[in-house]
Amino acid sequence: MGEDEIGVVTALVRSSFLVNAVYAESGREHGLTPQQGQLLCVLMARPQGMSDLIATLGLAKSSLTGLVDRTERNGLVRREPDPSDARAVRVALTPHGAKLASEFYDETCRRIEQLPGGLSAAERALLANLLGRIVSDNKVPVVF
């Protein structure tokens, strides 16, 4: 490998650090922790049950409960009865949470879109295709 070349493991790890840093910076500017930002983005599509959120976010039940509690105290989400299971609750965005989620999502996407700015259109398409295959092969849930 040349001086500027790195292996796939290093490239993926450093890329994840880069994306996480953008996510954290955008979150700070919107008054969100990275975990709250993830939760809001997941809930943008629809309210979700706690079990679904555990699977999607990869959190332990106690960690998710604490995250939802803190985000609920901030007025961004609410718990509501699950219409398909009277014993369960769903987590939904409040109007304020939906507005903040949209702003956070748009800003974070804008910043991440700039990361491969030095690549040509063909290189960007190739990168998207290869990363998409990795995500698909590893059955990463649709979050963002």
**Angstrom distance (rounded) from CA 97 to CA 76:** 4
**126-139: pLDDT as tens digits:** 999 999 999 999 98
**Angstrom distance (rounded) from CA 135 to CA 144:** 12
What is the average pLDDT score of the chain?
92
**86-106: pLDDT as tens digits:** 888 999 999 999 999 999 999
In this predicted structure, what is the pLDDT of residue 85? 86
pLDDT band at 36 (very low <50, low <70, confident <90, very high): very high
Supply the pTM of this predicted model.
0.84
Those residues with Cβ within 8 angstroms of residue 49's Cβ, 6 or more apart along the chain or in another chain: 82, 85, 88, 89, 90, 91
Domains and CATH numbers, the chain: 8-110 (1.10.10.10)
CA torsion angle 106 56 13 6 (round to 10): -80
